Structure 1
Amino acid sequence: MRKLLPLLSLVLVLASCSEYQKVLKNQEIKPKYEMAEKFYEEGDFKRANRLFEQIAPKYIGKAQGERVMFFYSNTYYEIGQYNDAGYQFERFLKAYPKSEKVQQASFMSAKSYYHLSRKYSLDQTDTDKALLKLQNFINTYPDSEFLPEANEIAADLVQKKEKKSLEIAKQFTKLGEFYDLEYSISAIKALENFVVDNPGSIYKEEALYYKTLAAYNLALNSHPQKKEERLNNAKEAYSKFIKTFPETEFAKKANNMAERIDKELQNYSK
């Protein structure tokens, strides 16, 4: 029996594949619809997708068209073709604006673009698109059952955008240390804007530290006529940073900078 079971399973799979291929090539719509729903319910979304793709145009304007279109859109999501999923859910929303599935389709459309969002260091066009759709969804359906997940993935996308902005500012800080003071000035401005624009960011500690570092580099390398003012600006940046994050992981580096700043300022007090 143990030897026969794998063979029996193989026979059933082959029979299923044969039946699927036969229906796929069949011109009749009803068998395709019935098999597509069967595969959908079983979680075989790839084969369901191929069948729904064939019959979806035939159901436009018909009673079952709404059901077919939603399932068809969702199969794209389930097989990981998120660009197609987002597009098809958008088509569903336009075709069936009064459907009971509108809320779910709206969320799934936004979620599809969420999956298309790329690493923070790459282009963020799909991130922006997903955030816009999520915000529209949150505003339109504030009591939705999907709201907690929508807020969660929106927060994830916002953090990605924040990370990208922070990394750009950090790069300016590094360039300012080794190449040109203008980079330090740009870094300070970018980090100030970051803190203002993202007051609750998880990256605020890092942003304030790099602002202090950029101000420190700028002060030490400045022309004598501007050095005292910039040293005081750096000291102020350090004070704000330590006051906001007294237990910061950057404490040792920041304190070393503060000591150097105070030492340099002594020259002016004399």
Structure 2
Amino acid sequence: MSMQNSKKFSLFELLLIIGFTLFSIVVLYPFWQTIVISFSDPKQISGLGMNLWPESWIPDAYQYVFSYGSIMKAYVNTIVRTLSGTFLIVAFTMLAAYPLSKKDLPYRNTITIFFLIAMFFSGGIIPDYLLVKNLGLLDTRWALILPSAVNVFYIIIMRNYFMTIDKGIEESAIMDGAGYFTILTKIILPLSKPVIATIALWAAVYHWNEWFHALVYMQDDAKTVLQIIVRDMLTAMDASQSENAAAIGAGGGSGNLLLANVRAATVMISIGPIVLVYPFVQKYFIKGIMIGSLKG
């Protein structure tokens, strides 16, 4: 009987492995195909089909992208924006969520309702622009960071997570003379790595991909972000030719590029840092979301 159960379990494991392997291939193939197109000879792209390996690895598309305008400066601006913006979002989220996690906080429900109203209703683009202008933030990096520094959804998620932490730990610290700020920084935050990593990942992805505010608030090209430069570059190429037409030379007479080459290269350049960061926070991601979304 035990041998039969062992065989059935082994067969189930085999089917599970095969299923997840096929699923992984389906998920990873478009990503790999993008890499192949970005390095392929333009003459091979139209007949590339399901080829998993280019005949020759040609970095012309990347050379063209990195030689376009001020893309390197925009890359640095985007990194600075992502790091500083993520730090502010996480910091403000913690400072708002910790008091709201206290059931004895005066007017706690009123403050929570006020936050929820702000989450569902906003003034719109024009009031936002006028506010940024009146604060003197136009054409400054602060215009891309401060308006998004407080996110009510993140506050609710972190507040719910804080409410799951054993209150006895805080009570013991208070009896030892610790203040609330000391408890937050020395006790609560070390116990809240999953939700902090989750919020930080969401904030980093938002700041890395967001381009509309940079388009509206920024006038100096030296302060613009990567997504704007990429958008302008692809728009300029798309306006001059169709996707399958011969495009701009990659500087050095190495041949002609297709718009598909450049698009694939910009995708890889744009998502690179986020893809590298994600594996380090992925182990906290599911736990942070689940615990932070359960308790109200």
TM range (shorter): under 0.3
| TM-score w.r.t. length of structure 1 | 0.24
Higher RCO (CA-CA < 8 Å; seq separation 6+)? 2
Identify, as 1 or 2, the structure richer in helix: 1
| TM-score w.r.t. length of structure 2 | 0.22
Look at both structures and tell me which one has the larger radius of gyration over its CA atoms: 1
